């Protein structure tokens, strides 16, 4: 599935990933390939992304490596939309 993470300053990431786990306002949830369409508000926490991510040098400092093949991004809030195997996350 395709993931795009956008902040007010720049596009932080865009590319193919295996799974995305987010801190939804009603509790965390994970999205895998072919997940049902969803729109959700996000609260403060970490976005956990699984997959081979190639980050641009300008944004590498915003991400941290998790265990195995995961990458973490700390957010204060955001909005997410998933439709047709494409996730767009707007973060603060």
CA triplet 77, 81, 24: central angle to 5 degrees?
Answer: 40
2-15 as b/e: b if 16+ CB within 10 A: ebebbbeeeebbee
Quick check: 43 and 77 in contact, CB under 8 A? yes
pLDDT at 52: 87
The structural domains of the chain, ordered by start, are: 2-91 (2.60.15.10)
Instruction: Kindly report the pTM of this predicted structure.
Output: 0.94
Give the pLDDT confidence score for residue 25 in this predicted structure: 96
pLDDT tens for the chain, 92 residues: list them: 999 999 999 999 999 999 999 999 999 999 999 999 999 999 999 999 999 888 999 999 999 998 888 999 999 999 999 999 999 999 98
Distance CA 28, CA 58 (A): 28
């Amino acid at each position: 599935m395709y993931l795009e993470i956008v902040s007010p300053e720049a596009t932080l990431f865009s590319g193919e990933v295996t799974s995305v786990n987010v801190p939804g306002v009603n509790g965390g949830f994970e999205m895998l390939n072919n997940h049902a369409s969803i729109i959700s508000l996000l609260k403060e926490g970490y976005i956990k992304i699984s997959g081979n991510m190639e980050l641009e040098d300008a944004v590498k400092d915003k991400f941290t490596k998790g265990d195995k093949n995961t990458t973490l991004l700390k957010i204060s809030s955001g909005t997410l939309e998933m439709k047709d195997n494409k996730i767009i996350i707007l973060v603060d």
